[in-house]
Amino acid sequence: MCLGIPGKVIEIFDENGLKMGKIDYSGSINKACLEYVPEIEIGQYTVVHAGFGISILDEEEAKKSLKIWEEFADSAAQEGVDILGNPLDEDQ
Amino acid sequence: MKYLDEFRDPVLAKKIVAEINATVTRPWVIMEICGGQTHSIIRNGIDQVLAKEIELVHGPGCPVCVTPLEIIDKAIEIASRPDVIFTSFGDMLRVPGSKKDLFMVKSEGGDVRTVYSPLEAVEIARNNPDKEVVFFAVGFETTAPGNSMAIYTAAKERLTNFSELVSHVLVPPAMEALLSSPDNRVQGYLAAGHVCTVMGLEEYIPIAQKYHVPIVATGFEPIDILEGILLVVKQLEEGRCDVENQYLRSVKLKGNIPAQNIIQKVYKVTNRKWRGIGEIPRSGLSIREEYIDFDAEKKFSVGDINTMESDLCISGEILQGLKKPHECPAFGKECTPTHPLGATMVSAEGACAAYYKYQRLR
Ligand code: SF4
């Protein structure tokens, strides 16, 4: 639960009155709530904790750090789950 | 230097290690607070490439590990009720309670569901008006923004069938409790970067000054951790005790204000017991009066709970930086990730699990 994962915002929408986004984490796409990063725009990177964006990352820095998350995704794949811990065979 | 070659930027890593080792002249004990950092340190062998004067001890920064046994037992009791859908982050399911874990409740037919975000639990409550939906709200300051938002949203929508079993803990009071203990060995802290992202840095300043310890907000990648250690070692050698920020790309001095606002609206600071450590004053969050209808502990009167800890487990001492996992007689024998006796073996962020996974036997 404590893994804060950096991801790129690829879509922003409203859901039940909350600002939400689709986030791309090195290939796995999932939803996150963006209420705490109200000024974030599509294309920017955010650190997501348990489904909530908690900061807007500096883009250069975020890109540098993505490689390590790809490694995480690879090692997670060996255990049969994606970077978020979801089983890989369950298409989302 | 075998480990360093596996880093994202081995040249930079080697440079920082060389600088740390050239700076250090005396023995220092540095604690990383966060279990995510512990995992990264052991995985990458950071502790093994540093000069022998630097000892890294592992802190209590894993919410799965420090959630008290009573709360786990309460969760198990609530989750076993037929009218309840019990929702939780996945890593709480295998934490052993006195007699069983949530996973066993599920296999016995209880409706226990893992969610990735607390908002999913709210969604389940929306879709199941005839059921009580309980979310197990655990974590540090990093999950508090989401967990408080879940109650805030449920209250706005009057979803009276939603509630939270809250066991939130706060990092700075625990850091202070460790420093004020007579057994304390910690001389410098790597503070948890994501906790600081939410809460900012200001609350660390009085702690650094009062106990004369450098505190450096640090990220999670190997290079971040090495930079954090370098900043702490420099301060120690120079006799400084400042609060510094290694994790500039995410941490701002004031933290995330909108997140702090919702946390404060829904939760209040309270005394909290930490598994293995005991009660620490003002070290947790509980639900405010205004939102008391969403408090699962009030909603479900859970009878007297008699807890039973394994008497072999020394995780309390490990969480305080007094012992290392391989010093536990049960480590790798009676206690393994498939048969954990203590919470520090359950969570991937627990020190025992990291030592086991990366075969750190000395
Ligand atoms: S190895 Fe197991 S029994 Fe020993 S301290 Fe760690 S969790 Fe407890």
Q: How does pLDDT run across B36-59, given as a tens digit for each residue? A: 899 889 988 899 999 999 999 999
Closest alpha carbon to B140 in B251, B64, B252: B64
Q: What are the residue boundaries of the structural domains of chain A, listed by start?
A: 6-78
B312, B315, B357, best to mutate for ligand 1 pocket (most atoms within 8 Å of CB): B315
Within a 10 A sphere around the Cβ of B168, how many other Cβ atoms? 26
Pocket of ligand 1 contains residue B318 by CB under 6 Å: yes
Of A55-59, B53-57, B163-167, B272-276, the least confident: A55-59
Q: Is the pLDDT of residue A70 over 80?
A: no
Q: What is the pLDDT of residues B317-357, one digit of tens each?
A: 898 889 999 999 999 999 998 888 887 888 878 899 999 99
CATH 2.30.30.140 is the classification of domain A6-78 = yes
Question: Do the chains contact at B142 and A17, CB–CB below 8 Å?
Answer: no
**Chain CA centroid to CA B185, Å:** 20
Mean pLDDT of A12-39: 94
**pLDDT given at position B91:** 84
**pLDDT given at position A65:** 60
When pLDDT is cut at 50, 70 and 90, the band that residue B13 belongs to is confident
Residue carrying the six token digits 């296999």: B107
**pLDDT given at position A15:** 96
When pLDDT is cut at 50, 70 and 90, the band that residue A1 belongs to is low
Within a 10 A sphere around the Cβ of A67, how many other Cβ atoms? 13
When pLDDT is cut at 50, 70 and 90, the band that residue B307 belongs to is confident
Highest mean pLDDT among A49-63, A76-90, B220-234, B298-312: B220-234
Q: What is the pLDDT of residues B193-207, one digit of tens each?
A: 999 999 999 999 999
Mean pLDDT of B222-234: 94
- State the CATH architecture for B1-354: 3-Layer(aba) Sandwich (3.40)
The verdict on B146 touching A (C-beta cutoff 8 Å) is yes
SS3 A51: coil
Q: What are the residue boundaries of the structural domains of chain B, listed by start?
A: 1-354
Q: Is the pLDDT of residue A76 over 90?
A: no
Mean pLDDT of B17-23: 94
**pLDDT given at position B2:** 39
Closest alpha carbon to A37 in B258, B145, B140: B258
**pLDDT given at position B14:** 87
- Looking at residue B15, its amino acid is K
Q: What is the pLDDT of residues B77-92, one digit of tens each?
A: 999 999 999 999 988 9
Closest alpha carbon to B28 in B317, B238, B217, B193: B238
**pLDDT given at position B341:** 86
Mean pLDDT of chain B: 92
Give residues 147 to 186 of B whose Cβ lies within 8 Å of A.
147, 149, 153, 156-157
Mutate to test the interface with B, among A15, A26, A54 (most CBs of B within 10 A): A54
Question: Do the chains contact at A18 and B91, CB–CB below 8 Å?
Answer: no
Q: What is the pTM of this model?
A: 0.89
**pLDDT given at position A88:** 64
Question: Do the chains contact at B221 and A65, CB–CB below 8 Å?
Answer: yes
Which residues make Cβ contacts (< 8 Å) with residue B205, sequence separation at least 6? Answer: B243
| Residue B35 near residue A2, CB atoms below 8 Å | yes
For B146, counting Cβ atoms within 10 Å of its Cβ (0-12 exposed, 13-18 middle, 19+ buried), the class is: buried
Q: Is the pLDDT of residue B6 over 70?
A: no
